[in-house]
Structures are given as structure tokens and as C-alpha cells.
Amino acid sequence: MTENALDTAGRQADAAGAPAASAATSSTDGSSTVAAPPPGVGGRPPRPTLGRRALILADSLWRPALVLAAFFAAWWFVAAREYVPNYLVPTPGQVWATMTDQWSELARHTMVTLYETVLGFVLAAALGLAAAVAIAYSRTLDKALYPIVLFAQVIPKIAIAPLLVVWFGLGLTPKIILAVLIAFFPVVISGVAGLRSTDPELLDLAATMGAGPWRTFRKIRFPNALPHLMAGLKVAVTLAVVGAVVGEFVGASEGLGYVLLLANGNLDSALLFADLILMSAIGIVLFVLVEIAEALLIPWHASRRAGVPLTTS
């Protein structure tokens, strides 16, 4: 529907332009100005109303909801009839019971993992952006940093996790380092791609405007890089969860990764499932937060124009 609104604005603009052109060709002094469109015509299309937006959201959600419902039904069917023994696959009811019974404990572990993930993600975003700026601006730093970044990416992080525990102990540090190591790469790659995608004519233009590198970065290059960067941050935030959990696997006394190992050792499949659900919830919530930040930061970008549902861009 917004498409239509745009279309109309364009047609009105053309309609306003055509008579002006004929006026210019027929007037004798050639000084006629273009007829201005009446005020209020054109400009931005009206924002969709709240009800309308709820409808758009509902429209984008019913398909995944249906798939999820089918999945739960199948799970419940298989588990409740014990086609698979309950110590391997618990019923949804058992998982729910575990979740509510041990809620305070589970909530505490969730907060620990969430904290590690968020801290790791924020650090990865900051370091990744700084590295991207260095790489995009300096040929020398490009040659010096890129191989290191690539090397840090190809080391199997799971393999160095034990080493990090040996170095930094069982506290927060190794988990955060792992989260940063895993989440860093997509931020750098997307940041460099974004910063390099600036139209060279815009940079020429900035030069003739007498602007220094900082102003050019702030007003042109950085906003231009944001769509790429946000895509990288969305990947990074889901990877940061993996980093934190892997860190907890290797050596921890709290966190969802630690709980997972405990549940596994006790063959407590209900707890294990509850734990998995909470891990996924962390990833989804953080992902949605980044999506919201994206919607606020780059509403102008093609991928974000009204009508595009929140989670499929």
C-alpha cells in the first residue's frame, strides 16, 4: 500500500512538471519558474496506523507460528505415546514442569549467560568496527590486519577454549573472550564492505566541500555503511551466544552451558530441553533487539521500507 502512495506522489510530481515545461517554452521572457506543487502534496507517504502495523505483523507471523505449532504437536505426539523413551525425549508437559519448578535457578543461570553474551557482543561490535575503519581507511593497516582477522576466524574456537580456561580461570573472562572471538569476524567483514561501498562521487563531492576526514566519515561514510554493518551485527549477536555457551562447556560453575552439562550427566532430559529453550530464547531476544535498533537507525534503507515484515529483511 505504501508503494501506491509513492506512485501517486511521483505522478503528481510529473503532472506538476509538465504544464511548467509548456509554460517555459511558450512564455516570451523565458523567466517562468516551475509551478510548485500545492503544499502537502508529495513528500513522505503517511506512516501506517497502529492497527495497520499490527495487521502487517500478524501477517508476517502466522506462517512461522503454524510451523511451530505443527512441530510442538509432533513432539508431543511422539513423546506422550513413548515412541521414544521419556529419558531421551521428554513431553512438552514435563519440560514445562521442570521450567516452572526450577525457575529461580534457571533464571539465575540465564542471566549469567545473557550477561556474558551481551558483553561479548558489545565488545565484538566495538572492536570489529574499529578494525573495519582501520582496514577501510589505510592500505597499510589493511595488509597488516586482514590476515590476522582471518587467522582469528579460522582457528577452531572450540579447540582453544580449554587453553583460555587454563589462562584465565573459570570466571567470566574466557567466556567473554570466546564470544568476542566468534562474533568479531562478521562485524569486521560487514563494516569493511559497508565503508568501501561509498559512492566515489560522494567522496569527491565531500572534498570540494572542504570537509575533513572526520566530517566525511560522520556525515557520509558511516551512515552509508550502516545497512551492511547492521546485517553483520545480526549475525554477530547470534554467534555471541554460541561463544558464551562454548566457554561454559569447558569450565564453569554457572550459566546455561554448565546446566546443560549437568543435565546431560544426570540424564535429565527435561532439564536439558528447558535449558536449550532458554539458550534459544537469549539468541532470539537479542536478535530482535538488534532488528529494532536497525529499524530505528536506518528506516530509509530499501530493506526497511514500510511493508517489509520485521524478521524477514
Q: Which residues are at the interface with another protein (CB under 8 A)?
A: 6, 9-10, 13-14, 16-18, 20-21, 24-45, 199, 201-202, 204-211, 215-216, 219-220, 223-224, 298, 300-302
Which set of grid coordinates corresponds to residue 253? 560453575
| Separation between Cα atoms, residue 133 and residue 268, nearest integer Å | 48
Question: Which segments of the chain are extended strands (E)?
Answer: none
Judged by beta carbon, residue 115 or residue 222, the one nearer another protein is 222
- Smallest Cα–Cα separation from 121: which of 172, 41, 177? 177
Residues belonging to the chain? 313
Least separation in angstroms between residue 299's CB and another protein is 8
Q: Do the Cβ atoms of 270 and 101 come closer than 8 Å?
A: no
| Separation between Cα atoms, residue 157 and residue 74, nearest integer Å | 35
Least separation in angstroms between residue 221's CB and another protein is 11
Judged by beta carbon, residue 210 or residue 265, the one nearer another protein is 210
Judged by beta carbon, residue 121 or residue 217, the one nearer another protein is 217
Q: What share of the chain is helix, strand, coil (3-state, %, to 5)?
A: 80, 0, 20
Sign, CA dihedral 180-185-191-194, equals: negative
Judged by beta carbon, residue 30 or residue 156, the one nearer another protein is 30
| Separation between Cα atoms, residue 125 and residue 227, nearest integer Å | 14
According to DSSP, residue 268 is labeled: -
Least separation in angstroms between residue 293's CB and another protein is 15
Judged by beta carbon, residue 40 or residue 51, the one nearer another protein is 40
Judged by beta carbon, residue 124 or residue 225, the one nearer another protein is 225
Least separation in angstroms between residue 202's CB and another protein is 5
Locus of grid cell 560522520: 218
| Separation between Cα atoms, residue 306 and residue 2, nearest integer Å | 7
- Smallest Cα–Cα separation from 172: which of 237, 116, 251? 116
| Separation between Cα atoms, residue 55 and residue 66, nearest integer Å | 17
Judged by beta carbon, residue 108 or residue 215, the one nearer another protein is 215
Least separation in angstroms between residue 223's CB and another protein is 5
Least separation in angstroms between residue 41's CB and another protein is 5
Least separation in angstroms between residue 137's CB and another protein is 18
Judged by beta carbon, residue 225 or residue 246, the one nearer another protein is 225
- Burial class for 234, CB neighbours closer than 10 Å (0-12, 13-18, 19+): buried
Least separation in angstroms between residue 233's CB and another protein is 18
